[in-house]
Amino acid sequence: TMPPRELTLIVAATSKMGIGLRGTLPWTGLKKEMAYFARVTKRAPSLGATNAVIMGRKTWDSIPPRFRPLKERHNIVISRTLPPASKSSSSSSTTVSSLSEALDTLSRPTDAEKASGRAFIIGGAQIYATALEKPETKRILLTRILSDFECDTFFPVVLEESGEAGSWRRRSKEELDAWVGENVADGEQEEGGTRPAASRYPHCH
């Protein structure tokens, strides 16, 4: 019997913890930030391992069809209404009806490749909230978006720039770098097209 898989939440949020607007990301053109998301979620702890990305159905719908399923990752989609041909599953994507079922799926991997990968919760708000109640949820990788974009969806915990947020505590850049496996750019990173949206790189909580 194996220990349950650790879960890592990855999220980009404004200072008010805004994460979404009308079914998509509130911002456009944060290409380096999205590239960071893709690199971190793809990077597996060992050669020949594949990570899993777990998301709600609305987040799945928000991903441009050309990028779905997210490549080089096992995509697990949570939907109360399973697609026709039920419990649709291929090697790169699986649909389940709850986060608990997603965790069950991870606990009986179909192959060694998936057995050794990391598991990331990639949203949205409902799935983050459910995941935050699970003891398996060990860390949050937050990218702070410094421009105050309009949002109608919010991350369920307010993570402060400095210090505590309930039981969550901000970690050092060294701890972040060591876990993600890269030297994460430090300080304010400016990008975002014509009107640069400053984005500051992750906090590890």
Strand order in the sheet with 52-56: 93-96, 74-78, 52-56, 119-121, 7-14, 137-145, 197-204, 188-191
Catalytic-residue membership of 25: yes
Nearer to ligand FOL, 86 or 124 (CB): 124
Contacts of 195 (CB under 8 A, 6+ apart): none
3 vs 140: CA distance, rounded Å:
20
Residue 97: count other Cβ atoms within 10 Å of its Cβ: 14
Per CB under 6 A, does 204 bind ligand FOL? no
Residue 23: count other Cβ atoms within 10 Å of its Cβ: 12
Among 63, 115, 146, 165, binds ligand FOL (CB under 6 A): 63
Nearer to ligand FOL, 3 or 187 (CB): 187
Q: Which is catalytic among the residues 33, 70, 99, 159?
A: 33
Among 15, 21, 29, 62, binds ligand FOL (CB under 6 A): 62
Nearer to ligand FOL, 37 or 103 (CB): 37
Among 18, 56, 117, 123, binds ligand FOL (CB under 6 A): 123
Minimum CB separation of residue 1 from ligand FOL in Å reads: 31
Among 75, 143, 153, 189, binds ligand FOL (CB under 6 A): 143
Per CB under 6 A, does 34 bind ligand FOL? yes
Q: How far are the Cα atoms of 7, 45, 55, 103, 140 from residue 78, in angstroms, in the given order? A: 15, 25, 6, 11, 20
